[in-house]
Chain A
Amino acid sequence: MSTTVDPITLEVIRNGLLTAADEMKSVVLRTAYSQLWKEAGDLSCALLSVDGECVAQGSADIPIHLPTMPFSFRGMIERIPVETMKPGDVYIHNDPFRGNNHLPDFFMLKPVFAGEVLLGFSAVRGHFIDVGGNGPGSYSSTAPDIQAEGFRIPPMDVWREGKRNEQLVALLETNLRNPRERIGDLHAQYGGCNVGEQRLQALAEKYGADTLLASIDQVLDDAETVARQQISEIPDGVYTFEDYCDGDGIVNEPFKIVATVVVDGDSINIDFEGTSKQTRGGMNMALAVCYAACVYAVKALTDPDAPANSGAYRPVKVTAPLGTVVNVAYPGAVVAGNHETSARVADCVTGALASALPDRVVAAGAGSSGVMVFGGNKDGNDFICVEMHGAGQGGGKDADGGNAHRVNIANTGNTPVEALEMSYPLTVLEYAITDDGGGAGEYRGGCGIQRRVRFEDEGWLTIVADRGTVAPYGLFGGKPAAPSVVVIDRVGKGPEPLPTKTAPLLIAAGDELFFKCAGGGGYGDPANRAPERLQADLDNGYVSPEVARTVYKADIREDRDRADGAWVVAVDR
Chain B
Amino acid sequence: MIRAGVDVGGTFTDVVVIDEETGDIRQSKVPSDPRQLEVGIVEGLRGTIADEARLSDLHFIGHGTTVATNVTLERTGPRVALLCTRGFRDIIEIARLAKPGSKLYTHKSVMPEPVVERKDCFEVTERVAASGQVIAALDEQEVRDVIRAVSDRGIKALAVCFLFSFRNPNHERRVKEIAAEVAPDLQVSLSSEVWPEFREYERASTTTLNCYLRPAAWSYLERLGEAIEAAFPAANLWVMQSNGGLTSPDAAADLPVRLVMSGPAGGVIGAKYVAEQTGLHNLITVDMGGTSFDVSLLQDGEPSLVDQQNVMGLPVKGRALDILTIGSGGGSLAWVDGAGQFRVGPRSAGAFPGPAAYGRGGIEPTVTDANLVLGYFDAEVPIAGGELTLNYDAAYQACDRLGKELGLSAIEAAWGIRSIVNSAMAGAVRAASVRRGRDPRNFALLGFGGAGPLHSVDIAREMGMSDVVIPNVAGCFSALGIATTDVVHDLVQTTTTVLGKGSSTEFTHSFDELVAAGRQELESSGIPERLQQYDYSFDLRYKGQNAALNLQASGPDQLMPAVQAFHEEHLRQFGYNSPDEAVELVNLRLRAVGIIGRKHEGATTHDAHDAKASGTRDVWLSATQTGSANIYDRSALAPGATFQGPAIVNSDDTTVVVPHNTSGRIDDAGHLRINLERP
Contacts and interface: CB of A to CB of B under 8 A. Distances in A.
Interface stretch (B23-31, B103-111, B359-367): B103-111
Interface string A398-439: 110011111100011110111101100001111111000000
Interface in B545-595: 545-547, 573-576
A15 interface: yes
B337 A417 contact: no
Interface string B392-427: 000000000000001010000001100110011001
A240 interface: no
Interface in B336-386: 337-344
Interface string B133-158: 00000000000000001001110000
A63 B98 CA distance: 12
A540 interface: yes
Contact of A422 (B94, B105, B198): B198
Contacts of B105: 63, 296, 299-300, 303-305, 308
Interface string A9-44: 011101110010001001101111111011111000
Contacts of A222: 339-341
Interface in B603-659: none
A469 interface: no
B199 interface: yes
Contacts of A422: 130, 198, 496
A413 B96 contact: yes
A391 interface: yes
Contact of B94 (A8, A32, A399, A404): A404
A269 interface: no
Contact of A402 (B110, B419, B424, B431): B110
A27 to B, nearest CB: 6
Interface of B: 87-91, 93-111, 117-119, 129-130, 149, 152-154, 163-164, 198-202, 337-344, 406, 408, 415-416, 419-420, 423-424, 427, 430-431, 434-435, 496, 542, 544-547, 573-576
Interface residues of A, number: 89
A422 B201 CA distance: 15
A421 to B, nearest CB: 4
Contact of A362 (B107, B164, B406, B574): B107
Interface string A497-527: 0000000000000000000000000000000
Contacts of A565: 119
A117 interface: no
A40 B97 CA distance: 9
6 contacts: A300-B106, A304-B103, A391-B94, A398-B108, A405-B95, A431-B90
A12 B152 CA distance: 57
Interface string A149-171: 00000000000000000000000
Contacts of B89: 432
Contact of A391 (B97, B149, B198): B97
B97 A32 contact: no
Given A31-B547, A431-B90, A393 B338 contact: no
B339 A223 contact: yes
Given A30-B547, A563-B149, A388 B107 contact: no
B88 A194 contact: no
A515 to B, nearest CB: 14
A365 to B, nearest CB: 8
A404 B97 contact: yes
A412 to B, nearest CB: 7
Given A60-B98, A194-B575, A299-B105, A402 B111 contact: yes
A226 interface: yes
A180 interface: yes
A512 to B, nearest CB: 13
Contacts of B573: 30
A395 to B, nearest CB: 9
Given A304-B103, A422-B130, A430-B87, 18 more contacts: A16-B427, A19-B427, A23-B435, A27-B574, A30-B547, A31-B576, A35-B546, A59-B104, A61-B104, A304-B105, A360-B107, A388-B97, A411-B98, A413-B96, A432-B94, A539-B119, A540-B117, A563-B149
A399 B424 CA distance: 34
A7 interface: yes
B198 A418 contact: yes
Contacts of B153: 563-564
A428 B95 CA distance: 16
Contacts of A181: 544
Nearest to A18: B427
Nearest to B342: A7
Contacts of A413: 96-98
In the A-B complex, the 3 residue pairs with the smallest Cβ-Cβ separation, listed nearest first, are A60-B101, A38-B546, A413-B98
B90 A421 contact: no
